[in-house]
Amino acid sequence: MSTLSERPINPVVGEAIPHESASLHVTGEALYTDDLVGRTKDCLHAYPVQVMQAHARITRMDTAPALEVPGVVRVLTAADVPGVNDAGIKHDEPLFPDEVMFYGHAVCWVLGDTIEAARLGAAAVVVETDPLPSLVTVREAIAAKSFQGAQPHMERGDVEAGLDQAAHVFSGELDFAGQEHFYLETHCALALVDENGQVFVQSSTQHPSETQEIVAHVLGRSSSEVTVQCLRMGGGFGGKEMQPHGFAAIASIGAILTGRPVRLRLNRTMDMTMSGKRHGFHAEWRVGFDEEGHLLALDATLTSDGGWSIDLSEPVLARALCHIDNAYWIPNARVNGRISKTNKTSQTAFRGFGGPQGMIVIEDILGRCAPLLGIDAMDLRRRNLYSQGQTTPYGQPVRHPERATAAWDQVIGSGDVTRRCEEIARFNAEHDDVKRAIGMTPVKFGISFNLTAFNQAGALVHVYKDGSVLINHGGTEMGQGLHTKMLQVAATTLGLPLHRVRLAPTRTDKVPNTSATAASSGADLNGGAVKSACEQIKARLLEVAAQTLGISPHDVRIEAGEVRGVAYTSKRISWEELVTTAYFRRVQLFAAGYYRTEGLHWDSSTMQGEPFKYFAYGVAATEVEVDGFTGAYRTRRVDIVHDVGDSLSPLVDLGQIEGGFVQGAGWLTLEDLRWDESDRPSRGRLATQAASTYKLPSFSEMPEIFNVTLLDQAHEDGAVYGSKAVGEPPLMLAFSVREALRQAAAAFGPAGISVDLASPATPEAVYWAVEQARRATEHGHVDEGYPGVVPDQPGIGSHPMQPTSEAYERPVPARV
């Protein structure tokens, strides 16, 4: 066991404690970025001038009318940028563009004494444009060959030989939608400048160091002249990893030019129409199985909808390719990726970061092909799970694959799945208009940033003379419980009760050059750094204690704030006494900790290597009931067994698993992003730009029975206190919901029917799947998965996820 993963006796890590800010959250006392405005004197408010065209060239912009509006102080344009007019890491995102790239693109910003004055000023700005051709869907971009960024290729084995040897070969296509982050706190930044010209930005950002860098280069200054602080976020989910930088830069420009603090906060409509979302994808595939249903070969092309700029689309696509296998052994695989450039918001990171988009392809393949193979979907998935000694298509050995099978078998047993499947079969035979089904899917998710350099973190820990402890680390808190875990790590390492340790907000002048709090690596990276800093301090204090107690430093124990020797009869002193003694002996009581993940290597040019420290596993079984008249459904029961290693904070981890699952179910079943695809002037407009039109999971969608269990005996050697990441992997457990809906819809038809199911699987989509199954019954034969053509949606054009003959290719006949 490594020293990083080894736990002491009676550790604080592993205790089931509430989130460190839980009471503040529920009482409304927790402060967020915008709450600080009321404490800031003479604050100006920024409001965007949006152009409502999908693609156009700006021919004239007149800001003078805005300055005549009472309360308007200034209008910010490209001429006001002292440095680089760009907010992207690839220099393809001008802050003040001369070309409108999506419907609602902001071209300048108005500063006012009040938000209402700024709004009226924005409405007064005159912008004239020449319309340009626009691409709104991925299929339009593919047809126009409109791509951006790298086009990765990943290959292992001989795909063509594998397909030739296969007893059954199928091919098909799949379009699946993106997802709106819908964090409770929209994008917000508050910038001010002190008397020395130091720019201080309060930002709702998952990546303060990158926000600092972007603000600095927009201002034409060094990073040392900009400080970014993130107090906490009201949700992030990846949407605040890259997108906050431009908003922080605009507020900073305004603060410098006016000498007054500037607040920029998007309302909900602005946030939904201006900020990026989860990438939607189009996938084409061919797959081969042997007679027993084992996967032999997969040939796939994934095309993501990148929107108008590259943002994080390249690493998202790379992770999608790396997760197309999910938890299944595919001996021969060839996967190509490309990023379409469309006239939509610049799509960005979202919980799972491409992993869900890769996994849904293989899960859809197995769900569609299982009936055609004459194999139960659960059995098909179980027999294709990884086993010891196998490697991923990108060459990484799969460690601990037995954890996936253990979780699978535990769900079968604890969820009483076998008996319930028999009951469901009887229920379905007795009910013509309502059907039930259980879908069961695994997850294998790689933990670490694909870019090796990002896998590092720092921390700063202070021990004060009274014995109290303050920790700073580079991770940000967005409700996921990272700060709670860091407090537990520090208390465990120092041997203190939890109440002696406090945590300061994340700031770039305390811990520099941090990575984003993303990739589910926040606890791994920052926990290692916090532990490193605490161990340095503790090592110094053990020397002082040894001198005081007259024993060897190796025999000193610090537990629950008490310092003693290893012998039961040893003399004891308090932590406070030890710290005081150390101070008077001039012993350093603070330390900077550093951690980097070892053993990683990745060649993005060949898509080969070992980019992940480990894999997190999980299995979910979901039971649903579908109404055959409307396609409406309800989730009756969910059973989850998930691998979090030795949990640092079980209550936090359980909350993350439950929340991730529900968010994943929202993406796959409810959250239906719609853009206007017509040729009207409103082309490119996001039609679902509020909670009234964009349906989020609510209490009514929660399963009636929701069982979550942490996998036992799952210690992860080489990770902080034996734990594993938990932020992203549980989201993909929700594939079990979609597959259950597919099976319930198929139950309306003859045995062996394969139905296609759109994603998101809204009640409407489920209804069409039910109709497909019923047509097979009426025709007296199994339709082999070929859906009929259904009418286009009125109003905004046919939805890309509508199950039409264009969107879904008929599987080719089985080859013997």
Q: Count of alpha carbons within 13 Å of 51, Cβ hemisphere only?
A: 28
d(CA 218, CA 215): 5
Task: Please give, one letter per residue, the 3-state secondary structure of 355-414.
Answer: HHHHHHHHHHHHHHHHHHHCCCHHHHHHHCECCCCCECCCCCECCCCHHHHHHHHHHHHH
Phi-psi region at 237: left, alpha or beta (left = phi > 0; alpha = psi -120 to 50): left
Angle between helices 735-746 and 355-373 (to 10 degrees): 30
Catalytic residue, chosen from 20, 677, 728, 771, is: 728
Name, in order, each residue with C-beta under 8 angstroms of 3's C-beta and a sequence gap of 6 or more: none
- C-alpha distances in angstroms, 411 versus 418, 439, 620? 10, 12, 7
d(CA 69, CA 118): 9
DSSP string, 434-449: EEEEEEEEEEEEEES-
- Strands 99-100, 153-156: pairing is unpaired
* SS3 assignment, position 672: coil
Angle between helices 650-669 and 735-746 (to 10 degrees): 40
Angle between helices 313-322 and 355-373 (to 10 degrees): 30
Q: 93 an active-site residue? A: no
Q: Nearest-5° angle of CA 22, CA 26, CA 32?
A: 80
Q: Count of alpha carbons within 13 Å of 236, Cβ hemisphere only?
A: 33
Angle between helices 650-669 and 355-373 (to 10 degrees): 60
The two tokens of residue 505 are: 């907000």
- Strands 72-76, 147-148: pairing is unpaired
Burial 208-237 (b: 16+ CB within 10 A, else e): bbbbbbbbbbbbebebebbbbbbbbbbbbb
Q: Count of alpha carbons within 13 Å of 23, Cβ hemisphere only?
A: 2
* SS3 assignment, position 226: strand
The catalytic site residues sit at 728
